[in-house]
Amino acid sequence: MQRMRFSLAIFAAAAALTLAGCGEEKKPEPVVSAPPAPPPPMVVKLGHVGPLTGSIAHLGKDNENGVRLAVDEANAKGLTLGGKKVKLELVAEDDQADPKVGTTVAQKLVDAKVVGVIGHLNSGVSIPASAIYNQAGIPMISGSSTNPQLTEQGFKNVFRVVGRDDQQGPAIASYLASQVKPKTVAVIDDATAYGEGLANEVEKTLKAAGVKVLPREKGTDKTADFKAILTKIKGKKPDAVFYGGMDATGGPLLKQGRELGLKAVFAFGDGACTEKMEELAGTAAEGLLCSQAGLPVQAANKKFLDAYKAKFKIDPILYAPFTYDAANLIIESMKKADSPDPAKYLPELAKISYEGASGKIEFDDKGDRKDAEMTIFTMKGGKIEPIAIIKSGKTIKFEDFIKAAETAAPAAAAPAAAAPEAAKAEPAKAAEPAKK
């Protein structure tokens, strides 16, 4: 009996300990699910094409920098299209200023499914490449191609934010005729669509003004030795020489001309209207005249100039304000359409009215910039300085143009540099731009 009682006591004690242990057991914490990660932004690709290698790579890189600045600014602000957050991605290609390479990289951009293209730099590349973009239905905006044929093809997806050679040519030719007053002018071109087209417009305007124009001379966009051509020209004693081509060949031409004793005034279009001319021609570049199919860099708005300098640690060279505006035109059009689909935003682009770094931009039915400005420059002390702005067929001294811009919009249009001393000479009125 006592053993039974002892066993029962032990059993009771064990049971109590077991119950006590169970009472101390903790229940597992409920599992809390992490909130779902936000969806990644939709990537929208913008293309840029220009020469990033070769003799005018400095201009191609300047163009690309303008586009890159616009893309980075848009991404920093945040962009939403169709209710989705968007990240813009720049796809940059090198066309080497070569039409064959240009069409190859144009197709490469189409295959990469870019929604728009800023480029190309050279007219001779832009024109064949534009057909590829047109077939794919992708908008293309050039910030530097000036040959009229680009927008005379009837493509509804092709635009430019600079003027045309049939505006630029008459501007520089009329300035030559009225200010230099030459009796005889020699005209040379580099046999490209840009150089030959611009030289044709200059020759046409000079002849209409009663100036004798010598038979055309030709080089190429790779000519390094112009001495044979220049020696031939020297014997005919021209008062002025106009060259249609880029700075890479224009600089050596000018230097060699001075070495041969040519005293003529040398004039150029926008492709050779850079400070690279002083680097290539040395002191021979002093006093050259040149034109640009648009406002000079100095007249771009201060916000752009400051942002460019802060990002790239250099000043823009020539076309960067225009490629910056071209990229922003596409971005703004997508916002208005609330879609990156080219078919949806193209109508918005065609009718856009936009205040950009290079001024107000609107397009005509051909895709040309309405009422595009022309600028005449001179080389002074190794620097390209604007002398006059030509707008709506009227010539305005650069300093007066800047004062008017400051009065109209002091915050947005303040120039980065004061008007040059050279601008004090009163320029003559330019001819009305040719109509096509």
CA distance 173 to 242: 9
Spell out the domains of the chain, with CATH numbers in brackets.
42-162+300-361 (3.40.50.2300), 166-297+373-424 (3.40.50.2300)
CA distance 335 to 349: 10
Give the mean pLDDT per block of 10 residues along the chain (436 residues). Answer: 49 48 56 72 96 93 98 97 96 96 98 97 96 98 95 97 92 91 97 94 96 97 96 96 96 97 96 93 96 88 95 94 98 98 98 95 96 93 90 83 71 40 34 31
Q: 347-354: which pairs have CB atoms within 8 A and are 24 or more residues apart?
A: 349/139, 349/159, 350/156, 354/325, 354/328, 354/329
pLDDT of residue 422: 35
Give the residue ranges of DSSP H helices in 241-301: 247-259, 276-281
Entry field: residues in the chain: 436
pLDDT of residue 416: 41
CA distance 236 to 213: 11
pLDDT of residue 428: 34
Residue with tokens 């397009």: 363
pLDDT of residue 431: 32
User: Cβ(296)–Cβ(273) under 8 Å?
Assistant: no
The H or E element spanning position 87 is strand 84-94
The one-character DSSP state at 390 is E
What is this structure's pTM? Answer: 0.77
- Residue 360 one-letter amino acid: K
pLDDT of residue 295: 87
Give the residue ranges of DSSP H helices in 112-241: 123-136, 149-152, 165-175, 193-208, 227-234
Say whether the peptide bond before residue 120 is cis (omega within 30 degrees of 0).
yes
pLDDT of residue 30: 65
Q: What is the DSSP string of 298-316?
A: GGS-HHHHHHHHHHHSS--
The one-character DSSP state at 369 is B
